[in-house]
Amino acid sequence: MKLTGSKILLESLIREGVDTVFGYPGGTVINIYDDLMGSSIKHVLTRHEQAAVHAADGYARATGKVGVAIATSGPGATNTITGIATAYMDSIPMVVITGQVPTALIGNDAFQEADLIGITRPITKHNYLVKDVNDLARIIKQAFYIARTGRPGPVVVDLPKDVQIATAKFEYPETVELRGYKPTFSGNVRMIEKAVKMMFSAKKPVLYVGGGATLTDSHAELKELAESLQIPVTTTLMGMSSFPKRHPLSLGMLGMHGTYYANMAVTNSDLLIALGARFDDRVTGKIATFAPHAKIIHVDVDPTSIKKNVRVDLPIVGDLCDVLKKVNKKLTEHEDETAATRKALAGWHEEIANWRKEQPMTYKPSKTEIKPQFVIEKLRELSNDDAIVTTEVGQHQMWAAQFFDFVQPRTFLSSGGLGTMGFGLPAALGAQVAFPKRQVIDISGDGSFQMNSQELATLVQYRLPVKIVILNNNFLGMVRQWQQLFFDKRYSQTCLELPIDFIKLAEAYGASGLRASKPDEVESVIKQAFAIDGPVIMEFKISREENVMPMVPAGAGLNEMVLAS
């Protein structure tokens, strides 16, 4: 029996295990939406296409599945760009389906036409313009395969309206064979043997862990490696929840706003073992002074990421989970060397302990002003260990990374590479859809929250009990901090003086709103919010000019941290 293109699309999604999509309807996808009404796939109607993609992103980060978003052509499709770029920078598996004008009108400047293939080429793993309905099932199969394999990422499928209406026999491929795409999964055994030997001979090793540990669900294997050799672990922002923050071997985050002891450990290390990380500039600081005494082992599934930013002494291309399993197997085969290495690192741990004691991650408490760090600590204290935390981007994001002790994998969802304001609320929406019974918290600033505040309507419509924390300093805080430190306090266009009543805004959407203006009100507000069965805004009027410290200034090395403002 023949099916229309729109039905072939939905049947293909079902074959890929898709149970939820996020989107916003329009003229060129009206056939898809008509068929969705009789489908087993749940559709979540966001209030903006950008939010639909961020929600699919949050869903993917929280579950490990491929997120799916749908948008119409023209402005609907171009509204997805920021979300696609966000997912691309952070290697998040996603398939974005956009409507397109009929094939006969492509290139004629038709109503609501946009060249989405050209626009998204630099920010996708791959993209498709479907010109023949007979190719649709194969393209969807390929799109999901590309999105989830190798280094994951977003794939766009641009679907003209006439292709959705046309009919073809539905045959879904069992396998995918792409001549130019052969990602390496298995790590080279000889290279892994060399890596283990380097670990045995190291006196000051550090495990530097990125988002790849989360994307490959390598949390157990990472912990086994760290504990076997007693190697300290530092993570990037993207790798944050891949290793328990309270673990004795945890150094917390490194880089621009990382811990003093993590940055000093990397600076003084003689072996840096990079696992699923790409040596981002926010991590390395000045390249010339980054890990100057260390030999570097770099494990990554993407060969183009290796040696791109820093020199590497031993590259290993492969899936991180596969590589770590092989490394751990080698360690068990060499128990004597493993035990000797653990014993030999006692002095290294003592050195790190001194740095930790010298400059702990702390802040100056206040009895009169609400300190943002205090709010984060109280949130952590009063929430569940498996709470999923999303953030927007700015000071609040860094405070969350510094002071919220994540202990479970896939519980910290944040825009790392692109740094997208407005990400947190729709990402929390997607995570809450994926896990209706888990506690989901969006930590936001007053500036970032306003980027996608309309998604409060989506939370209320679908009864999604996301708790929103707004750290309100009436500033675009991170930019203001830079203006204070490097531009003689010339606060150009960063002061948000127009008073917004976030409580009334919450109530206007049918949500609940709570506010704390004094430190002794913080705990009560959080407890009240967690007790409400529905979406809640918690607004905290924080110290206006509190800075994120420590900080590595732009162009400085990790050993040149500014420790206080």
Active site residue 89: no
315: DSSP letter: E
Annotated active-site residue in 161, 245, 295, 371 = 161
For the chain, the residue count is 565
> DSSP labels for 471-510?
EE-SB-HHHHHHHHHHSTT--TT-B--S---HHHHHHHTT
Please report which helix (H) or strand (E) contains residue 351, including its range: helix 346-358
Please give the full DSSP string across 318-339, using - where no structure is assigned: S-HHHHHHHHHHHHHHTHHHHH
List CB contacts of 193: < 8 A, sequence separation 6 or more: 330
Is-contact 472 395, C-beta < 8 A? Answer: no
Backbone angles phi, psi at 476, to 5 degrees: -80, 85
At 382, give phi and psi (nearest 5°).
-100, -5
Q: How far apart are CA 250 and CA 27, in angstroms?
A: 52
Phi and psi torsions of 213, nearest 5°? -65, -35
Angle at 54 between CA 49 and CA 59, to 5 degrees: 125
Rounded to 5°, angle at Cα 391 from 244 and 57: 90
Select which of 256, 264, 451, 478 is catalytic.
478
Closest-CA residue to 290 (of 465, 39, 552): 552
Q: Which of 2, 42, 111, 308 is catalytic?
A: 111
Q: How far apart are CA 388 and CA 320, in angstroms?
A: 24
Task: Please state, in angstroms and rounded to a whole number, the distance separating the CA atoms of residues 389 and 404.
Answer: 9
- The first and second tokens of residue 408, run together, are 């479970």
112 is catalytic: yes
For 446, what's the count of Cα atoms within 13 Å in the CB-facing half-sphere?
A: 24
Q: Which of 11, 16, 49, 546 is catalytic?
A: 49
Rounded (5°) CA angle 543-545-551? 115
Query: Are the beta carbons of 24 and 48 closer than 8 angstroms?
Result: yes
Which residue reads 């960063």 in tokens? 494
- How far apart (Å, rounded) are the C-alpha atoms in residues 408 and 468? 20
d(CA 557, CA 270): 17
| CA–CA dist 561, 565 (Å, integer) | 11
Instruction: Establish whether 478 is a catalytic residue.
Output: yes
- Give 205-244 as a DSSP string: EEEEE-THHHHTT-HHHHHHHHHHHT--EEE-STTGGGS-
Instruction: For 546-563, give the DSSP string.
Output: ----SB--TT--TTS-B-
Q: Which residues are designated catalytic?
A: 49, 111-112, 161, 478
